[in-house]
Structure 1
Amino acid sequence: MTERDAEARAEILARVRQATTDITDKNLESDTPIKWEYGRGIEMDDVVGTFVQKVIDYSATVVRVAPQDVPAAVVDGLKATGADASAVVPAGLDAAWVDAIRAAGIEVRVDDPALSKEVLNDTQAVVTAAACGVADTGTIVLDHLADQGRRAITLVPDRHVCVVLASQVVSDVPEAVQIVKPAVLEGHPLTWISGGSATSDIELSRVDGVHGPRQLYVVVIDDI
């Protein structure tokens, strides 16, 4: 260390000591207590409404329906995104939704046993449920349980119709983490979806569908 470096270091430390002379308690947690607990969420007037608006901001389509209207809404979502021939579904998806897709003349490809990557690539869309939604960020979280299936089926097809219960929507990410924690402890992966997949190069040329479906259609069930 040169003499000049030593002088600069001494000056910096002197300023730090001067700036902290009024701190009598060196324990930062007790000196400045924060009334906040991880995972408790944040105050929000309309959690579901905020979630819907944030998802729309990502250029995704969102519809809110009553529980009895979900099968029809799923079919409408497939057709609205251009999926009129085929859709892959996880083995645990609601049977009424699957029946409605078949009744609409769309081939249902159940991922049980696991479909090959070639079949997934040839399938127009995927339909899944969700683990939870995050209002603050407009994010949908999948923990890949039976009604969501393995990650591959939610990443390869070009369109994703995702069904989220209003009661599954929470205010922020820490609150969502608490919901999916049991699945993580069981070894399940997580997928966090904020709009359709897109990326940009250094010249800001946008490319859609690089990391997953380029179109996201969200059906929110008003169950609360």
Structure 2
Amino acid sequence: MLRLVTVPGTLMLMPEDYSPAAVVRRLDRGQQVVIPSSNRSVVFVLLLALVIGIGLLAFFLFIVTDTIQDGRSPWLIIINLRMWALVIGIVGCLVVAPIGLFVRMRRREALVLSPVGVALARRDQVLPGTLLPWQNIEAIVFEKAARRGPRAAAYILTEEATRRRLGRGHHPRLLVRNGFVLSPRRLFPVLKAAHARFAPRLHGPR
């Protein structure tokens, strides 16, 4: 059974050179490459959520004030489903989103690449059960996750790995998580190069 062994404090942050060649060279030396979460993207999403939330709140207050000034019944607001949708949006943007983003920053999640495979780490510790060996990956693709959605990197599992995971409700196509210092477009060639370098070794001659 393949395992990714780590010791607390030994995860090494990825150097500034994020090129696929630099990553593969480091993996060839038996080192792990850690791609940390991007605080910049978290801050951007937080600011976006706050702007949208404040806009929704201002619109909500405008409608409430206008209704009261016109002498109309407050029940018109209470029974209006659109107003409830505004309330849900306000709570989501001004309460839920900041809490979720704060928790994510506290977790300090990272993607860990090694000659064995790729795993997810949290607070400098590789999470148990997250290691995906290179030999279980048939290919790494960069395509749209949904018909109208943005393109994303994804692992295409081998038939054997797919059969093992289907029993647990997994799909043979696994999306690569985003939110790291490398965007999905920049992360894709790194993963593809590492897979091309180490998967043949693990599969053996074909």
What's the TM-score, normalizing by structure 1? 0.24
What's the TM-score, normalizing by structure 2? 0.25
